Amino acid sequence: MIECRDLRKVYTNGDVETVALKGASFSIEKGEFVAIIGPSGSGKSTLMHILGALDSPTSGTYFLDGKEVSKLNDDELSDLRREKIGFVFQAFNLLPRTTVLRNVMLPLLYSNTTEEEREERAKVCLKYAGMEENKFYNLSNQLSGGQMQRVAIARSLMNNPAIILADEPTGNLDTKTSHIVMEAFQELHQKGHTIILITHEPEIAQFAQRVISIRDGIIESDIKKTKK
């Protein structure tokens, strides 16, 4: 599904160059649950932006479903993000004075679907993400952190994406709530979803099936867990 070959990224500010990635190469198969872990400044956020088609590498190639992403134009990149990738962020990015249901419906707002179809799809995704049905009509600012992240997960599923890309999804949560959210990701993985998790926390990375460690722009290790 994903193939990265010698990805390099250099940021230039005047005469100063900062090398964020120094030749990252790896592949991710359909249905894998992969954690990319590294400390601040390791290059993991840069890699996340490239995998999410939000940025392009300075050199190297990134293929998603056989397409070389860096050769796509802006419209094609927008279509790819909408159709192939579901994003889950640390800050939830929910509209605070909008109901849970309408927050989840947003990705289909400008699609060729009726209001009823969008609402039914949102309900399915919320249940899929483990959200309690009695919370569907609550405002998002009336929810706990764990509930808000479940809403964000449900929203990421609305377009039935090939990949769920989660950027530090437990960064604003306490330990107990973080584990609950990670168990939700594990359930999605068991149902066949491909999940890429960006984190700096080793404990959170251990929920994944495979852990890619990055430091100073270089992949240090790539370890896949053996099934018990």
% of the chain at pLDDT higher than 90: 71
The total of structural domains in the chain comes to: 1
pLDDT in tens, 178-205: 999 899 899 889 988 999 999 999 999 9
In terms of pTM, does the model score above 0.85?
yes
Amino acid at site 206: Q
Amino acid at site 104: V
pLDDT in tens, 33-44: 999 999 988 999
Low-confidence residues of the chain: pLDDT under 70: 227-228
CATH code where residue 153 lies: 3.40.50.300
**Domain interval for residue 83:** 2-224
pLDDT in tens, 142-159: 999 999 999 999 999 998
